[in-house]
Amino acid sequence: MLNEIGNLAFLAALFSTFCCASDLSSVRRLPDLNSAEREEMLEKLIKTHTDGEVNLKQILANSASKKEVTIAAVYLAGLYRLGDTVSELAKIIFLEEHERIQKSEALWGQFPVVEALIKIGNPSVPKMLELIQESSDPKTRKLAATVILHIETESVGAFILQKKMDTQTDAAQKERLGAAIQYLKEEDIRRHPVPPAGHR
């Protein structure tokens, strides 16, 4: 799959300058690269830190992976809409990018996992419902609700949550589902977290 991305000669030179030192932020600031070239750089970044392997599920599941490599893997999982990575992504949904760069130059925003799950689409929803019911962390539940909102819209998301709530017998999980319905109405999660299409 990833090997289908074009291998450009000048890109290799750029990569040797910016990525061999794992300087992902420099890669993200190369405005003249097209999307295929950026993905090539991210793939090579991952290979540099994983003995030449590009196994996104393994990287996402490995808590010892460097943050910049994990975020690169998250971005690629969303870019290629890899539904089989949803379980691994859900476990790190709280992963946050603290570096602030201009939106026009960003490949991802503050919560790259949320963005990836939204791009993956419907396969993400069942896992988000599970997170909302089972997580004791309000931030995690709110991020999961954000994913549902931006995949399904507010009305459909509320319907899905209400339907699950109606069949839920556990009081704590029922309460969390009810809170998630309220999350869908909050302005901060209604703002779409995914960067503009030209930077995906």
pLDDT digits (tens, 9 = 90+) for 114-129: 999 999 999 999 999 9
Is the model's pLDDT at 69 over the cut of 90? no
**Out of 13-27, 90-104, 164-178, which region has the weakest mean confidence (pLDDT)?**
13-27
Domain residue ranges of the chain, discontinuous segments joined by +? 1-120, 122-194
DSSP element (H, E) containing 14: helix 9-18
Place 165 in a pLDDT band, splitting at 50, 70 and 90.
Answer: very high
Place 156 in a pLDDT band, splitting at 50, 70 and 90.
Answer: very high
> Greater confidence, 40 or 100?
40
d(Cα 165, Cα 55) in Å, to the nearest integer? 36
d(Cα 160, Cα 167) in Å, to the nearest integer? 11
How far is C-alpha 65 from the geometric centre of its chain's CA atoms?
A: 16
Name the token pair of 165. Answer: 């709530």
Is the model's pLDDT at 1 over the cut of 60? no
Is the model's pLDDT at 8 over the cut of 60? no
Average pLDDT over residues 13-18: 38
DSSP for 78-113 reads HHTT-GGGHHHHHHTTT--------GGG-SS-S-HH
Mean pLDDT of the residues in the chain: 75
- Which amino acid, residue 76? L
